[in-house]
Amino acid sequence: MLGLRLQETRVYQEAKAEGQLEGQAQGRAEGRQDETLRLVIRQLTRLLKQDLPESVQTQIQALPLPLLESLGEALLDFRQLSDLHNSLQHHPPQP
């Protein structure tokens, strides 16, 4: 062929750069999800003055980011663990 390797072509370089950007964006989204999750768990633990049951933590971990953020706002109105249970029943994790 013309002595060019696939890795040296412009199309390959652009595709590689695009893939790297997508990977970085996905990493940021996962990082945001993890940070929000940790914050909500800490806030609930402090607010309710008890460690959350494992089953409740599992439910919270399954929430997508928008629902996790909503829970972070709703918890300001919680007074007891049953308030959290009610909230999770009304907003179950999405598959």
Give the tens place of pLDDT for each residue, 21-56: 666 767 666 889 999 999 999 999 999 999 999 999
pLDDT at residue 19 greater than cutoff 90 = no
Give the tens place of pLDDT for each residue, 72-87: 999 999 999 999 999 8
What is the distance between the alpha carbons of residues 15 and 9, in angstroms, rounded to a whole number? 10
pLDDT of residue 72: 93
* pLDDT, mean of residues 59-70: 93
For residue 55, count other CB atoms closer than 10 A to its CB: 10
State which amino acid sits at residue 63. Answer: L
Smallest Cα–Cα separation from 84: which of 53, 21, 23? Answer: 53
